[in-house]
Amino acid sequence: MNVRIETIGQTTLVIPEGRLDFGSAGMFEKQLEQASPRKATAPAAVIIDCAGLEYVSSAGLRTFLLAARSAQRTGYQFAICGLQPPVRDVFELSGFSRIITIYADRAAALTHAPTGQP
Amino acid sequence: MRGDAAQLPVLTHFLRDFWSSADLAPAECTSFELALEEVFTNIVKHGTRPGSVSQVEVSLALAADGLTMTVEDDGPQFDPLSLPTPDVTATLEERPLGGLGVFLVRQMMDAVKYQRIGTRNRLSITKHVTR
């Protein structure tokens, strides 16, 4: 799995590509942690754009849960977007689609995030 | 093969090779890949005695009722179907960090059956596939 990080204003965009499985979840968890705000003094957001994510298992779901909790604790927005059908299925079956904010695509997610753009 | 997490990609390749040679619909492979990962990683976590690594055998059989994947290991008795069902309506704070793997497999597959045969655990997972 490859991960790219982009910053738009106060919003961090995390873009994983490939498979988020038992083998890659540990690395992804670390990358997410490093990319996330330590403290939220101003409105901030982390968005994970999953458009390039082909596969997620329970090991991968765990990293999303950790990231969402960390956002809630620290006080920044957290959302994911662009879920492909196999990944969407896993989010729905696990009930994660009820506890994590999901947008259809990156553009929709960014309209709700502090990007410094109107 | 050894019940070692590093072997997971080898098993996934085996499944995909079977999938393409049997000419099955590619989109339907994902649920079996997930089932294989969840079951295999459970064996790696639960099915190993101290100082020894379980041997795991995976077989695939295509029949009229669908594809059956059988995963056998020689580890301690462990019935993954005995694990509690997670509460998928729990809040973000309440959700435990684990316990979803077997639940996902049961949701995605048509039938999941556990048997203890002698000193071996056998889990059979069946789902209809499009040919």
pLDDT tens for residues B19-72? 999 999 998 999 999 999 999 999 988 767 777 788 999 999 999 889 999 999
List all residues 6 or more positions away from B121 whose beta carbon is below 8 Å from its beta carbon. B43, B47, B72, B73, B74, B75, B77, B78, B79, B114, B115
The burial class, CB within 10 Å (0-12 / 13-18 / 19+), for B27 is exposed
Is the pLDDT assigned to residue B2 strictly greater than 90?
no
Minimal Cβ distance to A57: which of B5, B38, B89? B38
What is the per-residue pLDDT for B1?
A: 84
Q: Tokens 């209809």 identify what position? A: B128
Distances (CA, A) of B54 to B37, B42, B75, B122: 16, 12, 5, 13
What is the per-residue pLDDT for A101?
A: 97
Q: Which residues pair with A5 in a beta bridge?
A: A14
Both tokens of B102, joined, read 């077997």
What is the per-residue pLDDT for A115?
A: 86
List all residues 6 or more positions away from B13 whose beta carbon is below 8 Å from its beta carbon. none
Domains along chain B? 5-127 (3.30.565.10)
Between CA A61 and CA B33 the distance in angstroms is: 15
List all residues 6 or more positions away from A83 whose beta carbon is below 8 Å from its beta carbon. A50, A53, A91, A102
Q: For testing the chain B interface, which of A1, A57, A88 should be mutated: the one with the most B CBs within 10 Å?
A: A57
Residues on chain B touching A93 (C-beta within 8 angstroms): 88, 103-104, 107-108
Is the pLDDT assigned to residue B106 strictly greater than 80?
yes
What is the per-residue pLDDT for A103?
A: 97
Between CA B45 and CA B39 the distance in angstroms is: 10
Q: What share of chain B is helix, strand, coil (3-state, %, to 5)?
A: 35, 25, 35
ipTM of the complex: 0.91
Phi-psi sector, B23: left (phi>0), alpha (psi -120 to 50), beta: left
pLDDT tens for residues A17-43? 999 999 999 999 999 999 998 887 778
Mean pLDDT, rounded, for B90-119: 93
Contact residues of A toward B, CB < 8 A: 21-23, 55, 57-59, 61-62, 65-66, 68-69, 72, 85-86, 89-90, 93-95, 98-100
Domains along chain A? 2-35+43-111 (3.30.750.24)
pLDDT tens for residues A53-111? 999 999 999 999 999 999 999 999 999 999 999 999 999 999 999 999 999 999 999 99
- Residue B15 in 3-state DSSP? helix
Q: Judge contact between B55 and B73, C-beta under 8 A.
A: yes
B55 vs A: CB within 8 A: no
